[in-house]
Amino acid sequence: MDFITKKNLTDLDMGFVLDRLSLVSPYGERHRRSLKPFKSEAAEALDREYDKLEAMIALFEQRRADVLRIKEELKRIKLLDGSFERILQDDVLTETELFEIKQIARTMLTILELQNLLQWQNRIGEHQLKSVALILELLDPENSGTQAFHLYSAYSDVLCEIRAQIERADVEMKRYKMKQIEALADEGYPVQPNGDIRIKSFETDLLDRAKNDERLCYKSELPLYKLYTVKPSQNLTQLKESLLLKEEQEEYEVRSQLTKALKENLETLTSNTDAISWIDLLIAKAQFSIAFRCVRPVLLNTEEVVMKGARHIKVAIGLEKQGKTFTPIDVSLKNSVTLITGANMGGKTISLKLIGLMISMAQYGFFVPCDFLSFKPFDYIFISVGDFQSIDMGLSTFGGEIVEIEQAIKRSNEYGLILIDELARGTNPLEGYAISKALIEYLTQYRSKAVITTHFDGLTEVMHTTHYQVKGLSDIDLSIVRERLNQHGVGLLHEYMDYRLVEVSQTKEIPKEAIRISELMGLNKEILDRAKEILGGSNDE
């Protein structure tokens, strides 16, 4: 079964986190797209992942320049899976493909040298590149040390001899041409050093001579003259064409032998590209952790979650652009069900998503943006938030919500994290209350941790639940704030809203923030008094 659906990852803004990883190689980018979570049975592997990330952060802070040099080398890496597959299938590589493999091998060598400089194996423990010495020896037989590649004569005695014959043929062709040029010059032709002869259009006698001279061939015609050139020796031309064909055939044989030799070293190349994907990801995670002041999660054997000072980085960045700050959240999930209550504008949904995001990040091997997080890895994460209306299925908002929630309920006997925002908000209040209470009572019997936001009174009284309230507007002085609100509007309320979660007793009544807001905005006192009377209190709780 899936740990989390793509939709739920989107709902939790996990994509926002992944998009902020500074990956620079195609293998690192592919790793990001295929990143897998560490499920509950992989707790030891997850802890080792934390060890690597912690060591990488320390390495980055102590040897920043050298780590950034590795990152610069990673930028040179190209995706060569197609060439690797052709090697595996015994397809003969082209000269361009051999050049690209030489390039990536040289880059791997540089990264390996930097890893050795940083004592990577001792400090990180994994993803050390394998030696590419044999591959470079194969693709650089003359030990030139350059990035360039060509089919060296050193690869084959036959190829070396053919190329020597081609050089001799070129010398003979040049000698033949020079003799022809000298003879033509003696006969009065205006021959140039390269063998071209320009004859003006009005020089009809010379044009006729050139046209009938077997030593010359017509080259082109220009506005004021015609161009002839020395005809090469037919025998020498045929000889060179024959030699070039032999060279091409021998080069193919050399490329075939190189491909076979590379196949014997293919595991080194593929192992190194896999290591490169991890190196790229690990450095990016370390940079992310430093940038967002993330901490290492603590893994527990007990089924409890404790978060302190948790920050939703997407929301925090948005607020920072407005000159505002995000209020960190503290929460502890001890019981099977935790309820969060508070005003509609009080940040309940953000708190819910924040809990899911922290756990998702932790189980994908990230450090988390909070002061402290301890938890036992979950089997799955589910979140119900937003509009579940499905056009394809023809379901109402409420119906779509229930279909989604039912899938999570079927797994409630596993250790999952179930997050539900305002359950049954799409139906009438009486039925919504009944369904919500029944679901809460049901979930208290199982292992899963459920966090549910609600505005229904009475749900917090269900046994074996924990109740958190958004602190909201409870501590503000109405007389001081009212004048500013009248001047600047209800948007100013966010400055006075306290988004912290406070654990309260199960019998603590859900605050009626709407009345407090109405009072702040100057609603008729008679109406307000009657509303309080209907509710049975002064709303001062």
Other Cβ atoms less than 10 A from the Cβ of 388: the count is: 19
The class of domain 6-151+254-290 in CATH terms is mainly alpha
pLDDT, greater one: 436 or 541: 436
Q: Does position 540 have pLDDT exceeding 60, yes or no?
A: no
User: What does the DSSP 8-state code read for residue 462?
Assistant: S
pLDDT for 407: 84
Query: First-to-last CA distance in the chain?
Result: 45
Q: What is the DSSP string of 315-380?
A: HHHHHHHTT-----EEEEE-SSEEEEE--TTSSHHHHHHHHHHHHHHHHTT--BSSSEEEEPPPSE
Average pLDDT, the chain: 88
Task: Specify whether the CB–CB gap between 258 and 93 falls below 8 A.
Answer: yes
Q: pLDDT tens for residues 390-440?
A: 434 344 566 777 788 888 888 888 999 999 998 777 677 788 888 888 989
Q: Does position 313 have pLDDT exceeding 80, yes or no?
A: yes
pLDDT for 475: 63
Other Cβ atoms less than 10 A from the Cβ of 303: the count is: 15
Percent of the chain scored above 70 by pLDDT?
88
Q: Containing H/E element for 418?
A: strand 416-421
Give the Cα separation of 506 and 528 in Å (integer): 27
Secondary structure class of 219 (helix, strand, coil): strand
Q: pLDDT tens for residues 328-342?
A: 999 999 999 999 987
Of 161, 138, 145, 128, the residue nearest 52 (C-alpha): 128
The tokens for 205 are 């006698």
Q: pLDDT tens for residues 210-235?
A: 899 999 999 998 888 899 999 999 99
Q: What is the side-by-side strand order in the sheet with 449-453?
A: 380-384, 416-421, 449-453, 337-341, 465-472, 498-504
**Mean predicted confidence (pLDDT) in 85-104:** 96
The CA angle 149-155-160, to the nearest 5 degrees, is 105
pLDDT for 392: 43
- The label of the residue with tokens 């060179």 reads 240
**Mean predicted confidence (pLDDT) in 87-104:** 96
Q: What share of the chain is helix, strand, coil (3-state, %, to 5)?
A: 55, 15, 35
Q: Containing H/E element for 469?
A: strand 465-472
- The label of the residue with tokens 């908000």 reads 425
Q: pLDDT tens for residues 129-168?
A: 999 999 999 999 888 878 888 899 899 999 999 999 999 9
Q: What is the b/e burial string over 9-41, where b = at least 16 CB atoms within 10 angstroms of the residue's CB?
A: bebbbbeebbeebebbbbbbebbeeeeebbbbe
299-510 has which fold?
Answer: Rossmann fold (3.40.50)
Q: What is the side-by-side strand order in the sheet with 216-221?
A: 196-200, 225-230, 216-221
Backbone region of residue 98 per phi and psi (left: phi > 0; alpha: psi in -120 to 50; beta: other values): alpha
Q: Which residues contact 346 (CB under 8 A, 6 or more apart)?
A: 470, 472, 497, 499, 513
Residues of the chain with CATH 3.40.50.300: 299-510
Q: pLDDT tens for residues 487-531?
A: 665 555 566 667 788 888 766 565 666 676 677 666 777 887 887
Q: pLDDT tens for residues 158-191?
A: 999 999 999 999 999 999 999 999 999 999 999 9
Of 379, 431, 382, 377, the residue nearest 406 (C-alpha): 382
What values do phi and psi take at 507, rounded to 5?
Answer: -90, 0
Residues of the chain with CATH 1.10.1420.10: 6-151+254-290
The pTM assigned to this predicted structure is 0.84
Q: Containing H/E element for 488?
A: helix 478-488
Secondary structure class of 3 (helix, strand, coil): coil
pLDDT for 148: 86
Percent of the chain scored above 90 by pLDDT?
62
pLDDT, greater one: 27 or 447: 27
pLDDT for 488: 60
pLDDT for 10: 92
